Amino acid sequence: MTRKLFGLLLAVAAVVVLTAGSPDDGLTVHEWGTFTSVAGTNGKAIEWNGLGPARDLPPFVEDAGLHCTKWSFLASVRMETPVIYFYSSREMQANVSVKFPHGQMSEWYPSARVSSDHITPQPADTPDFQLRNTVGGIEWRGIRVEPGVSPALPSGGEANDRYYAARQTDSAPLTVGTQHEKFLFYRGLAHFDVPLTARVTADGKILVSNDGATVIPSAILFENRGGRVTYRELGAIPLHAPMDATAGWGEMGDAGHSLPELYRDLEETLVSQGLFRKEAHAMVETWKYSWFEEGSRIVYVIPRATVDALLPLSVQPQPAHTERVFVGRIELLTAASTHDVADAVNRGDATIAKKYGRFLEPLLARVPHADPAVAAKVQQLRMKIAQQGDFCR
């Protein structure tokens, strides 16, 4: 996405905010979410099957039926678990609309009106769909905001507690029709360039560059190799000033750091960006097992203006205060990960799917395919994984 287009989107977002009506002094709205992408050889987001394995959400969450089909849905960004909280001094009704100019909604709760113009199919001989030129959105109308009420919230699938962690806040319960929840939840797939690029060089350096329109407030470089954790805080990323994120990396190690310390640092960062303490804790609890799984990645705060441009939000009545804190996750396809996957291909070890999850396919694509024997082994491993039900393919 060019800077010119980013500027136009920012202007549109500003118009939306300025024309939303008179603020309601008794209403505060907070939102958090994640944009996940995979960095290609040039550092920019590449297409991948963002849906990955089977659904990881409770059974009552509604979806667009994209999981477990014979198709992959190619996108450059997986928008994961945005949740919108309401805080009000009184009972009230509200309407919420979220536009997704470059993507499509895939899951949501409570029930909502979901729109998407089209998904562009690939050639007939490939079982893939590209999420290009889509204009999606989601709308909830007649939301009842009910502070002080304690309705029975839906349950099921508690083995995956990431969804339920988002309930541990002081937000007001919401009712849409006959459905109750502590927040509005949605996910989606999209095709756009994320503001941060991260290029892995042949000698193992990770070169980070902010190609967006605004300074990125905070970023962290993280690596987990067989349970050995290393990370470093990169601080703010200025515009168009490439940074070697690995300078001194070998000297740093993980001395004096632990995952609990990192969780606390992340919570402090999220609070500094505008989330309430319990919201920040809920966000880290929701994602701490997947943000820090096997592999290398950069986790960074997406500037608020960029969020508003990529995901315009409208709330009626207009809140007196609105905060939107989104985190970007860039998966890095390093030589270490590629070698690990290539070794699994050679052994025919399908357990590699558990290790790298939905990021396995981009890594498999990096295994040299020039040798027909290697290409055959890659395909055999894909089939073996599919037969075990590890992936919806």
210-264 tens-digit pLDDT: 999 999 999 999 988 887 888 888 999 999 888 999 887 655 444 446 788 889 9
Task: Retrieve residue 194's tokens.
Answer: 């994320």
Is a pLDDT exceeding 50 seen at residue 7?
no
The 3-state DSSP class for residue 200 equals strand
Distance CA 349, CA 379 (A): 12
Contact 361, 49 (CB under 8 A): yes
> For residue 240, how far is the Cα from the chain centroid?
24
Which range among 10-14, 49-53, 206-210, 254-258 has the greatest average pLDDT?
A: 206-210
Q: Look at the block and give the residue holding tokens 């920019």.
A: 44
Using one digit for the tens of pLDDT, what is the confidence trace for 371-383?
Answer: 888 889 988 988 8
Task: Give the model confidence (pLDDT) of 259-282 as tens digits.
Answer: 888 899 999 999 999 999 999 999
Nearest 10 degrees: Cα torsion 350, 351, 355, 360: 10
Percent of the chain residues past pLDDT 90, beyond the cut: 55
Q: Which of 231, 243, 247 lies closest to 297 in space, CA to CA?
A: 231
> How does residue 53 score in pLDDT terms, banded at 50, 70 and 90?
low
How many angstroms separate the CA atoms of 225 and 350, rounded? 18
For residue 13 the two structure tokens come to 């977002």
Using an 8 Å Cβ cutoff, are 135 and 175 in contact?
no
pLDDT at 254 (0 to 100) = 43
- Average pLDDT value for residue range 80-97: 96
Cα separation of 303 and 219, whole Å?
Answer: 11
Give residue 64's pLDDT.
85
* Residue type at position 74: L
Write out pLDDT tens, residues 149-191.
999 999 987 656 789 999 999 999 999 999 999 999 999 999 9
More confident residue, 158 or 115: 115
Bridge partners (DSSP) listed for residue 107? 63, 187
What is the pLDDT, as a whole number, of residue 186? 97
Is 12's pLDDT higher than 70?
no
**Residue 330 and residue 46: Cα distance in Å, rounded?**
11
Joined together, the tokens standing for residue 345 give: 């291909």
Q: Three-class SS of residue 351?
A: coil
- Burial label for 221, CB within 10 Å (0-12, 13-18, 19+), is buried
**DSSP secondary structure of 58-120:** -TTSEE-S-TTSSSEEEESEEEEEEEEEEEESS-EEEEEEEEETTEEEEEEES--EEEE---E
At 252 the pLDDT is: 46
Query: Strand, helix or coil at 157?
Result: coil
Would the pLDDT of 393 be above 90?
A: no
pLDDT at residue 274 in the model = 97
Return the pLDDT at 382: 85
User: Taking all residues of the chain, what is their mean pLDDT, rounded to a whole number?
Assistant: 84
- Tell whether the model's pLDDT for residue 128 goes beyond 80: no
Q: How confident is the model at residue 65 (pLDDT cuts 50, 70, 90)?
A: confident
Rounded Cα gap, residues 4 and 188, in angstroms: 25
